[in-house]
Structure 1
């Protein structure tokens, strides 16, 4: 095992200290938000509980929904499982399609100037606008939700791959040609590996788009275990605590997956020499 050089050890220690400082800052911010929430709802009582419940009521909904043992408990846990299954299925399909289409757009200029422009325009349309079309075309079922999830995830990946290929330094193209790489070899062995950092940024964007599209689509699916269904149940029963609990869970799950992708992106960027470890 190779020992760290003396000049690398302070850098590794500084990075660890920076991470701890970030965690402490985030924890302090969370405490401040919870304190302000508790002050407004439980101390000052500026709003009635059925309009704006306090942290305790929302935590009760979360605890019952995740690990409760009653006949109506555990609903949030099954909803999380159903939503994750749908979004991961749609996200994987979107990434695969996006990479293939992005490679084709990067290699063929006519396709890039036509399809690329259309995808950019479609990306500006809110995902919820596609839900009625998906329902009319595919029916009120999970396929409609998957369609919206795949569409919202596919476009950022395709545009990211195409743009990343175009931004590869010309010197790498010349080097690949000089070493005898053909068109396919140049694409797969030179251009695509050089584009990985930019593609990972597109994968993060695709995740956020897919996650938002999933919840919007699930609001219209009746009877399926999903976070969108929990939001609809909370609305129909005027249970604001359940709505807030579900929103918090949606935010936490989305943030966790984004953090994983962000960590992978940062690691790759450091390996490629695009970031200096701090």
Structure 2
């Protein structure tokens, strides 16, 4: 049996990157054609790439109406989502483990969490505002609840999917209850748990933007509302791009960790 050379394995990945860059160039070119050349819509409805770039420069490093606001909003949003995500992972991990070990909890709380997972994050915002007030705690509540649910369900499902033979082997080798959990169940469930952490990040990030949009706290979501109120569509599009880029970068980071763990466990072929 022959194996493909390493260059043949790497070529598809490099070509994918080339196609992605080419696609981006095509999108920007069509955008420029529609706005600057054909002028189908007025700038306040659909701004040109130049207008959006100016908002980036104003908000990140230049001077202008939004000087520094985009950069400070990025910092505020990242601080909130980082803290909320860490809390959600900690609480979700503990609750998910307890659900996997205790069937009554799994059949009650687990069922409720399954139902709540289908509720859009924006639906929690009015409850959070009325319960906690129009403040930072309301935003954090929405972020934590949206990150907590997928983590809890992922940990519970991952531990329950560990083959029973592994539990028996752990018992046979003398592991007590604590050792069985920490040295057998959790390590065996780790690949699926990391997948749940990736999902939780996506939920938490989207929940943060939605909560900031409806509250008075500074952040990227609030900046979207400022752009709407001032009819500054260039600022809205610039903020949307920033939200997408940050979300994609963090997703790529977690996906890289997930791929690394799956390769270590023999669940994915290495490049």
Q: Which residue of 2 aligns with 1:138?
A: 132
Partner of 1:85: 79
Aligned to 1:215: 209
Who is 1:123 aligned against?
117
Give how far 1:69 is off: 3.7
Could you tell me which residue of structure 1 aligns to residue 255 of structure 2? Answer: 262
1:66 paired to 2:52: no
Separation in 2 of the partners of 1:243 and 1:70?
A: 16
Would you say 1:197 and 2:188 are equivalent positions?
Answer: no
Aligned to 1:48: 42
Mark the runs of 5 or more structure 2 residues left unpaired by the alignment. Answer: none
Question: Which residue of 2 is the match for residue 233 of structure 1?
Answer: 226
Q: Distance in 2 between matches of 1:161 and 1:43?
A: 53
**Structure 1: distance between partners of 2:176 and 2:22:** 56
- Does the 8 A contact of 1:157 with 1:203 survive in 2? yes
Aligned residues: 270
Match for residue 4 of structure 1? none
Q: Structure 1: how far apart are the matches of 2:169 and 2:150?
A: 29
1:27-38 alignment runs, 5 A limit: 27-38=21-32
Residue 269 of structure 2 is matched in structure 1 by 276
CA distance in 2, matches of 1:248, 1:71: 19
Give secondary structure in 2 for the equivalent of 1:155: helix
**Are residue 39 (structure 1) and residue 33 (structure 2) matched?**
yes
- Equivalent position to 2:155, from 145, 152, 161: 161
Q: 1:251 to 1:71 in 2, by over 3 A?
A: closer
* CA RMSD of superposed structures (Å): 1.6
Deviations 1:132-182 (A, max 9, x none): 000000000010000000000000000000000011122211110110111
Q: CA deviation at 1:81?
A: 0.1
d(CA) in 1 for partners of 2:31, 2:104: 55
Q: Secondary structure at the match of 1:92?
A: helix
**CA distance, structure 2, for counterparts of residue 214 and residue 21 of structure 1:** 35
CA contact under 8 A between 2:58 and 2:65: conserved in structure 1? no
Counterpart secondary structure, 1:195: helix
Deviation at 1:190, TM superposition (A): 0.2
Moved more, 150-159 or 225-234: 225-234
1:94/1:154 contact within 8 Å kept: yes
**TM-score between both structures, scaled by the size of structure 1:** 0.93
> Could you tell me whether the CA contact under 8 Å between 1:15 and 1:277 is conserved in 2?
no
Tell me if structure 2 keeps the 8 A contact 1:153–1:210: yes
**Partner residue, 1:19:** 13
Q: Give the TM-score normalised by structure 2.
A: 0.96
Aligned to 1:3: none
Is 1:171 aligned with 2:165?
Answer: yes
> Does structure 2 conserve the Cα–Cα contact (< 8 Å) formed by 1:157 and 1:202?
yes
Structure 1 stretches lacking a partner, 5+ long = 1-6
